[in-house]
Amino acid sequence: MRFANLVAGVAISVAVVGAAQARDQISIVGSSTVYPFATIVAEKFGQSSGFKTPVIESTGSGGGMKLFCAGVGLEHPDVTNASRAMKSKEAKLCESNGVEFQEFIVGNDGLAFANSNKADMFQISIAHIAAALAAELPGGGISNISNVSANKLKTWDQVDAFVAMRGGDKVGLPKQPISIMVPPPTSGTRDATGSLFMKAGFKKLGISGKGYKKLREDGLAIEMGENDSLIVEKLAADPSMFGIFGYSFFDQNRDKVQASMVDGVELNFDNIASYAYPGARPLFFYVKKQHVGVVPGLKEFVSEFISEKAMSMDGYLFPAGLVPLSDSDFAAQKTALGNL
Q: What is the DSSP string of 34-83?
A: THHHHHHHHHHHHHHSSSPPPEE----HHHHHHHHTT-SSTTS-SEEEES
Q: How far apart are CA 188 and CA 47, in angstroms?
A: 30
Higher pLDDT, 134 or 4: 134
Residue 307 DSSP label: S
pLDDT of residue 227: 81
> What is the CATH number assigned to the segment(s) 110-280?
3.40.190.10
pTM attached to this predicted model:
0.86
Q: How far apart are CA 117 and CA 180, in angstroms?
A: 16
Stretch (H or E) spanning 246: strand 242-246
- What CATH superfamily is the domain 2-109+282-337? Periplasmic binding protein-like II (3.40.190.10)
Classify burial at 187, counting beta carbons within 10 Å of its beta carbon; exposed 0-12, middle 13-18, buried 19 or more.
buried
Between the alpha carbon of residue 235 and those of residues 81, 152, 252, the distances in Å are 26, 24, 14
- The percentage of residues in the chain with a pLDDT greater than 70, rounded to a whole number, is 94
Task: List pLDDT tens digits, range 305-338.
Answer: 999 999 999 999 999 999 999 999 999 999 999 9
Task: List pLDDT tens digits, range 5-57.
Answer: 433 443 444 444 444 456 789 999 999 999 999 999 999 999 999 999 999 99
Contact 307, 106 (CB under 8 A): no
Task: List pLDDT tens digits, range 77-117.
Answer: 999 999 999 999 999 999 999 999 999 999 999 999 999 99
pLDDT of residue 22: 64
Indicate where the chain has its CATH 3.40.190.10 domain(s).
2-109+282-337, 110-280
Residue 180 DSSP label: E
